[in-house]
Amino acid sequence: MDEPDWRRFITAYHQAHPGITEQLFALADTSPYAWLAEPLRGIEGTVLDLACGSAPTRDELPDADWIGIDLSAAELAEAARLGRGPLVRAGADALPAASASVRAVCAAMCLPVVTPLPRVLGEIRRVLRPGGTLTALVPSQSGLSPSGMLGWLRVMAALRAVRQPWPNPRARDGLAALLRTAGFRVRADERRVFALAIDSAEAAALLADALYLPGLTHHRAEAAKRSLARWAASGRRLELPLRRVVADLPTGQPPSREQT
């Protein structure tokens, strides 16, 4: 899928499913957003939530000078409906912030899907002030137990999907290396396995909708939901490995806008 096609897909997807990542994560045993926000608690200065979606990190950082940006009008409307803000509609590749003006950037579940990634990383570097922090949450492909792997095989078989064709696959387990190459100093790169409760037909349907599968037809999605609803059961858990990377912008580095 080329970049214009991906942009069309992601725009239509979030228009149809605003807040879906937050809804999926509400099935988790503990909040991935709380984990992501941990390194940012109590810091002084502006925190920019990149591709904030429905802005779940807003509630995790109630005292922060927080601002959320996202490209999707529907996601931002959902964030506003939940009383979260301030919000700005903008692309991650052209951030509406002055150079070296931001203390921290928070990036929840967005770096594998925002395009073009080199320019997005350049923009993060440009807006962060020297010594500023980036904290990012991304899916991880490792860490599943054998039964966790079977669970995902069951889900992907129902969806007739082999993989999620995201534009920046390296921005998952390879994120720390990408950030180092982009000039960041990586402070922490950790994986944690969460557990999603797939205990009802509603939870199964949410899971089927939440997986970002561009080739998924309506007919196939409905069949998958019926299949996964039969699999859903009280006590059913689906492992969800996530990675949190915390990186700083070294002091003494001039802000620059990276082009692709």
Ligand X SMILES: C[S@@+](CC[C@H](N)C(=O)[O-])C[C@H]1O[C@@H](n2cnc3c(N)ncnc32)[C@H](O)[C@@H]1O
* Interface region with ligand X, contact rule CB under 6 A, candidates 113-121, 140-148, 162-170, 227-235: 113-121
Q: At its nearest, how many Å lie between ligand X and the CB of residue 84?
A: 11
Strand ranges, E, within 113-217: 128-139, 185-197
| 146-155 long-range contacts, CB within 8 A, separation 24+ | 147/239, 148/193, 148/238, 148/239, 148/241, 151/237, 151/238, 151/239, 152/238, 152/239, 154/228, 154/231, 155/207, 155/208, 155/211, 155/228, 155/238
Residue 51, interface with ligand X (CB under 6 A)? Answer: yes
User: Residue type at 205?
Assistant: A
Residue 216, interface with ligand X (CB under 6 A)? Answer: no
Residue from 28, 37, 110, 176 that binds ligand X (CB under 6 A)? 110
Residue with Cβ nearer ligand X (22 or 209)? 22
Residue with Cβ nearer ligand X (46 or 54)? 54
Residue 132, interface with ligand X (CB under 6 A)? Answer: no
Residue 72, interface with ligand X (CB under 6 A)? Answer: yes
The radius of gyration of the chain's CA atoms, rounded to the nearest angstrom, is: 18
State the residues that interact with ligand X by CB under 6 A: 10, 14, 21-22, 51-54, 56, 70-72, 75, 91-93, 108-110, 113-115
